[in-house]
Structure 1
Amino acid sequence: YKGVVMDVLPGLQSVFVEIGLEKRGFLHINDVSLFTPGDIALFHETRRSPCFKSREVQKLFKRGQEVIVQVAKEGIGMKGPKLTTGLTIPGRYLVLMPGTPRIGISHRISSEKERRRLRGVVRDLKPREHGFIIRTASQGKLKNDIKRDMDILLKRWDTIINKAKNSRAPVLLYRDVEMVPRVIRDIFTEDIDKLIIDDKDSYKEVKSYLEHNLPNMKDRLELYEGSYPIFDAFKIEDDLKQLYKKKVWLKSGGYIVIDQTEALTSIDVNTGKFVGNKDHSKTIVKNNIEAAEEIARQVRLRDIGGIIIVDFIDMENEGDRKKVISKFQEFLSNDRSRPQIHELSQLGLVEMTRKRVRESVAARELDPCPFCKGEGMIPSPSTLAIMLEREINRHFMMTGKKHLTVKIHPLNIERIKERLQPLLSKLSGYIGGSVTFVGDYGLAMDEVEIV
Structure 2
Amino acid sequence: MEEHSKVCSLFFIVLCFNKSYYLYLAFNNNLKRIDVSTELVVDVQPKEVSIALLDDKRLVELQKEARNISFSVGDIYLGRVKKLMPGLNAAFVDVGYEKDAFLHYLDLGSQFNSCEKFIKQSLSDRKRVLSISKFNMLPEIDKEGTVSETLKVGQEILVQISKEPISSKGPRLTAEISFAGRFLVLLPFSDKVSISQKIKSNEEKARLKQLIQSIKPKNFGVIVRTVAENKRVAELDNELKTLVKCWEDCLVKLQKAKTPSLIFEETGRTVGVLRDIFSPSFENIYVNDEDAYQQIYNYVSLIAPERKDIVKLYKGDLPIFDNFAITKQIKSSFGKTVSFKNGAYLIIEHTEALHVIDVNSGNRSKSTAGQESNALDVNLAAAEEIARQLRLRDMGGIIVIDYIDMMEPDNRQKLYDRMKELMAQDRARHNILPLSKFGLMQITRQRVRPALDINTSEDCPTCYGKGTIRPSILFTDRLEDKISYLVHKLKVKKFSLHVHPFIAAFINKGFFSLKWQWRCKYAFRFKLIPNQSLAFLEYKFYDGNNSEIDLKEEIEIK
- Alpha-carbon distance, 1:89 to partner: 1.1
SS at structure 2 position matched to 1:190: coil
- Alpha-carbon distance, 1:107 to partner: 3.2
1:365-422 CA-partner distances (Å, limit 9, x unpaired): 669x99xxxxxxxxxxxxxxxxxxxxxxxxxxxxxxxxxxxxxx978xxxxxxxxxxx
Task: State the distance in 1 between where 2:115 and 2:421 align.
Answer: 45
Listed as ranges, the matches of 1:2-401 within 5 Å are 2-36=78-112, 38=114, 40-41=116-117, 48=138, 52=142, 55-226=145-316, 228-280=318-370, 281-362=372-453
- Alpha-carbon distance, 1:199 to partner: 3.5
SS at structure 1 position matched to 2:433: strand
- Alpha-carbon distance, 1:76 to partner: 1.1
**Aligned-pair identity (%):** 36
Task: State the distance in 2 between where 1:311 and 1:213 align.
Answer: 43
- Alpha-carbon distance, 1:209 to partner: 4.2
1:245-266 CA-partner distances (Å, limit 9, x unpaired): 1110013220011101110000
- Alpha-carbon distance, 1:243 to partner: 4.9
Aligned AA for 1:234?
F
SS at structure 2 position matched to 1:133: strand
1:84-129 CA-partner distances (Å, limit 9, x unpaired): 1111211121111111222223333333332222222212111231
Pair 1:201–1:345, CA change in 2 (3 A): same
Pair 1:247–1:47, CA change in 2 (3 A): farther
Task: State the distance in 2 between where 1:125 and 1:345 align.
Answer: 50
Q: Which moved more, 1:344-353 or 1:127-136?
A: 127-136
- Alpha-carbon distance, 1:51 to partner: 7.3
Task: State the distance in 1 between where 2:294 and 2:176 align.
Answer: 36
Task: State the distance in 1 between where 2:455 and 2:155 align.
Answer: 38
- Alpha-carbon distance, 1:201 to partner: 4.6
Task: State the distance in 2 between where 1:64 and 1:227 align.
Answer: 54
Pair 1:227–1:183, CA change in 2 (3 A): same
Aligned AA for 1:268?
D
Task: State the distance in 2 between where 1:92 and 1:53 align.
Answer: 31
Contact conserved, 1:52 with 1:59, CA < 8 A, in 2? Answer: no
Q: Tell me, which stretches of 5 or more residues in structure 1 are unaligned?
A: 371-408, 412-451
SS at structure 1 position matched to 2:341: coil
Contact conserved, 1:40 with 1:161, CA < 8 A, in 2? Answer: no
Instruction: Provide the alpha-carbon RMSD of the alignment.
Output: 2.9
Task: State the distance in 2 between where 1:49 and 1:209 align.
Answer: 39
Report the TM-score when normalising by structure 1: 0.76
SS at structure 1 position matched to 2:352: coil
- Alpha-carbon distance, 1:37 to partner: 7.9
1:10-69 CA-partner distances (Å, limit 9, x unpaired): 12111111111111011111111001384652798x985797565111110111111111
- Alpha-carbon distance, 1:275 to partner: 2.2
Contact conserved, 1:256 with 1:269, CA < 8 A, in 2? Answer: yes
Aligned AA for 1:187?
I
Task: State the distance in 1 between where 2:318 and 2:156 align.
Answer: 52
- Alpha-carbon distance, 1:226 to partner: 4.6
Contact conserved, 1:252 with 1:287, CA < 8 A, in 2? Answer: no
Aligned AA for 1:358?
R
Task: State the distance in 2 between where 1:410 and 1:217 align.
Answer: 54
Pair 1:196–1:112, CA change in 2 (3 A): farther
Pair 1:3–1:256, CA change in 2 (3 A): same
1:219-278 CA-partner distances (Å, limit 9, x unpaired): 433444555332122211122224541110013220011101110000000101222421
SS at structure 2 position matched to 1:361: coil
Matched with 1:419 is none
SS at structure 1 position matched to 2:112: coil
Contact conserved, 2:94 with 2:100, CA < 8 A, in 1? Answer: yes
- Alpha-carbon distance, 1:210 to partner: 3.5
Contact conserved, 1:42 with 1:68, CA < 8 A, in 2? Answer: no
Contact conserved, 2:287 with 2:312, CA < 8 A, in 1? Answer: yes
- Alpha-carbon distance, 1:197 to partner: 2.9
SS at structure 2 position matched to 1:337: coil
Task: State the distance in 1 between where 2:144 and 2:294 align.
Answer: 54
SS at structure 2 position matched to 1:80: coil
1:339-371 CA-partner distances (Å, limit 9, x unpaired): 210111222100010000111112xx669x99x
SS at structure 1 position matched to 2:286: strand
Greater RCO (Cα-Cα under 8 Å, separation 6 or more):
2
Contact conserved, 2:355 with 2:398, CA < 8 A, in 1? Answer: yes
SS at structure 2 position matched to 1:289: helix
Task: State the distance in 2 between where 1:201 and 1:10 align.
Answer: 47
Matched with 1:406 is none
SS at structure 2 position matched to 1:107: coil
1:275-325 CA-partner distances (Å, limit 9, x unpaired): 242112222111111100100000111010000001111111111111111
Task: State the distance in 2 between where 1:11 and 1:209 align.
Answer: 45
- Alpha-carbon distance, 1:75 to partner: 1.5
Aligned AA for 1:332?
M
- Alpha-carbon distance, 1:165 to partner: 2.8
Pair 1:163–1:223, CA change in 2 (3 A): closer
- Alpha-carbon distance, 1:213 to partner: 4.1
Contact conserved, 2:111 with 2:141, CA < 8 A, in 1? Answer: no
Task: State the distance in 2 between where 1:277 and 1:51 align.
Answer: 64
Report the TM-score when normalising by structure 2: 0.62
